Amino acid sequence: MAANATIKHVAREAGVSVATVSRVMNESSLVTEHTRVQVLEVATRLGYVPHGGARSLITNRTSTIGVLLPDLYGEFFSEVIRGIDQTARRHHYHVLVSSSHADQKDIEAVLRSMRGRVDGLILMVPEIQVPPAVALLPEDFPLVLVNCSDESGHHDAITVANYDGAYAMTMHLLGLRHRQIAMITGTPRNLDAAERLRGYRAALKDAGISPDGALELSGDFSETSGFHAAVELARRPFRPSAVFAANDAMAIGALSAFRDAGLSVPNDVAVVGFDDIPMARFVEPPLSSVHVDISALGECATLRLLQAMQQPEVHEVRREIMPTTLVVRRSCGTQ
Amino acid sequence: MAANATIKHVAREAGVSVATVSRVMNESSLVTEHTRVQVLEVATRLGYVPHGGARSLITNRTSTIGVLLPDLYGEFFSEVIRGIDQTARRHHYHVLVSSSHADQKDIEAVLRSMRGRVDGLILMVPEIQVPPAVALLPEDFPLVLVNCSDESGHHDAITVANYDGAYAMTMHLLGLRHRQIAMITGTPRNLDAAERLRGYRAALKDAGISPDGALELSGDFSETSGFHAAVELARRPFRPSAVFAANDAMAIGALSAFRDAGLSVPNDVAVVGFDDIPMARFVEPPLSSVHVDISALGECATLRLLQAMQQPEVHEVRREIMPTTLVVRRSCGTQ
DNA sequence: CCCCAAAATGTAAACGTTTACATGCGCTTC
DNA sequence: GAAGCGCATGTAAACGTTTACATTTTGGGG
């Protein structure tokens, strides 16, 4: 268990009342400097640490924010947590995480068990639709959705500019005279995947190129799925001249497959990715990608949540979009 | 704030006493099936969720484990959290995380603020020495150290078999007739880095090769540092025939640098890494590495902590070591 | 039909805080 | 020197649970 010494012990030992100890611990109001150091000395000596539960019981705040993360491997996860944690700590909040949810039932269970333990929630559920479980929360429960499509507009939301990024990247490829551009998509029900695909399609359409289902291969964001998709492409008699993978991991898998097939990137086929993970610049050839500032995403979400929690009257629900930037390296060649 | 309805509201509405509601919520003892469904119905209708703080106040347990993580980028982080979270959830525990600590003061502050909020702690501080802040914890506070050298043997600890893994990998290179083997080390004060270096040195020594300081280049686990170290090696008139990077990220940086220098891997120089991140098999050439099951590390740490918390009488302090396996791919060539 | 044990439920104290309010004390001010 | 005021501190209620113990209800055997 946590601490043994309670505020009463400290009070008795220091010869003051519990109220005074409480005041000292909260660095609040007027306490004589003399009493203050006295109490602090006793507190440290006894190893006193306030009981978070008791505190939250009376103040009605837990100083904790909950974070629900998808079952996602890779660097994305750690980066976003980093952003969240740093921001939360700066504002003296704790972070209760829960990752890897198999299904809706799972999410619901976690949501239930987190309520009563957190003051607000960051939900990272890159699903096409808002999980029904959200409806179980009280109307005014502070909540920020990350990378989740909320058509209702009822909740705060932050998303990456997936559409814009994919559009820009596709346009860049078109500018390099590519006309047969394949896309390796992400998991079907994943919002990021869907938006990136939409951006890709829109760019093709705007360039007057009619869509070709055969050029859209399904992947699942893993290196392996990118590899397999590229193997399949390499086999075709009429190969596309460029391949746009919905994330860098798949792009790197694709690079590997094309190399195995004896194809040169970017001469025989251009390859680009999305996310711009640190490794992107170190593969061969260095990978062109769409840069996303993931840790800023976490920070941004946390700041919005903090505002919703601390100044609900001033806070207004809105959707925010994190911009992306095009990073051109060698893997897509030059004109 | 969390929930609005309290146990009293539910009790009144259901026409029973708070004790009965409590019993129903805890799925405990004898309650008539009829009352049970009655109470549950009211609870759901009112959106009642027990107040975690109040509960922890009386039960003296928080059902939460704290996790302190280093300021670490990359996949390691997310994998270990995944292992921890999954295991904790399976045992109905929550996970309070805190990452990215700049220094000892920082760790101390986090430790303080976590006490009174968690029932036990997993400390991942890959430092050579146990952080002094640990001394502030009560003697019997459940604690598991991960990748932290605890010479005192006072605490539970789990470490990766860094020494063995590095020894085995170096031996493998020696078996391939390499005699000039360079190592790109990790951050100086990092325990993993130190142990891997030690394993490398021991293998050389056992092979009758005298140590050569010029073959030990310092890195910091980042792709970039591996790149720079390899650039420096490529420039030398007498190049080593093999390079052992203390992690895969640096190995991949090194691959990139050697390629830029016009050197062929593994023909001109062999390159190997450590960790076996998913990407290792997709770089060119596929990277030989020392495989570590990171998520198992998290699971293992959590299980030990849970035992220390739940059965302190049976639990005995000990050090555990996660084995590694050698994964040979093309980057180190063959005999 | 009564009695008793067992089962179901109720009562109330306790957990460790915070905080509104009460108290006491030392100063200033007349 | 009394009155009044402000500051430092103390007192006690309240927060939402759990649980030991008390009480009521149930059901079965005589």
d(CA A136, CA A203): 39
Mean of per-residue pLDDT scores for chain A:
91
Taking 70 as the threshold, does the pLDDT of residue A2 lie above it?
no
The whole-number pLDDT of residue A240 equals: 96
The Cα of B91 is separated from the nearest Cα of chain A by a number of Å equal to 13
Residue of A332, A176, A294, A112 whose CA lies nearest to B40: A112
Using an 8 Å Cβ cutoff, are B97 and B81 in contact? yes
Q: CB-CB: which of A85, A99, A252 is closest to B98?
A: A85
Residues in chain A closer than 8 A to B1 (CB atoms): 60-61, 119
Pairing mode, strands A289-291 and A325-327: antiparallel
The integer distance in angstroms from the CA atom of B53 to the C1' atom of D20 is 22
* B133 confidence band (pLDDT: 50, 70, 90): confident
User: Which has more pLDDT, A1 or B208?
Assistant: B208
* B10 confidence band (pLDDT: 50, 70, 90): very high
Q: Quote the DSSP letter at residue B163.
A: H
pLDDT digits (tens, 9 = 90+) for A109-131: 888 888 889 999 999 988 777 77
Chain A CB within 8 Å of residue B91 CB = no
pLDDT digits (tens, 9 = 90+) for B219-254: 999 999 999 999 999 999 999 999 999 999 999 999
Chain A CB within 8 Å of residue B133 CB = no
The whole-number pLDDT of residue B193 equals: 95
Identity (one letter) of the amino acid at B320? E
Residue A258 has, within 13 A of its CA and on its CB side, a CA count of 27
User: Which has more pLDDT, A322 or B108?
Assistant: A322
User: Which has more pLDDT, A105 or A318?
Assistant: A318
* B73 confidence band (pLDDT: 50, 70, 90): low
d(CA A120, CA A89): 15
Residues in chain B closer than 8 A to A223 (CB atoms): 278-279, 281-282
For residue A50, the chain B residue with the least C-alpha distance is: B116
The C-alpha R_g of chain B, in whole angstroms, comes to: 26
Taking 60 as the threshold, does the pLDDT of residue A3 lie above it?
no
d(CA A271, CA B90): 41
* A73 confidence band (pLDDT: 50, 70, 90): low
Q: Looking at chain B from residue 274 to 333, which residues have their Cβ under 8 Å from any Cβ of chain A?
A: 278-279, 281-284, 286
The whole-number pLDDT of residue B335 equals: 65
Range scoring the smallest mean pLDDT among A1-10, A45-54, B230-239, B285-294 = A1-10
The whole-number pLDDT of residue A146 equals: 92
Range scoring the smallest mean pLDDT among A93-107, A212-226, B44-58 = A93-107
d(CA B270, CA B177): 11
Could you give the 3-state DSSP secondary structure of residue B143? strand
* B91 confidence band (pLDDT: 50, 70, 90): very high
The whole-number pLDDT of residue B256 equals: 96
d(CA B269, CA B253): 14
* B301 confidence band (pLDDT: 50, 70, 90): very high
The C-alpha R_g of chain A, in whole angstroms, comes to: 26
The whole-number pLDDT of residue B3 equals: 46
* A72 confidence band (pLDDT: 50, 70, 90): low
Distances (CA, A) of B97 to A69, A258, A309, B52, B304: 13, 41, 20, 18, 18
Residue of A60, A61, A85 whose CA lies nearest to A302: A85
A-B contacts at Cβ under 8 angstroms? 195
The integer distance in angstroms from the CA atom of A25 to the C1' atom of D9 is 15
**Exposure pattern of A229-244 as b/e (b: 16+ CB <10 Å)?**
bbbebbeeeebbbbbb
pTM of the model: 0.89
Q: CB-CB: which of A74, A86, A94 is closest to B78?
A: A74
Residue B64, strand partner residues: B94
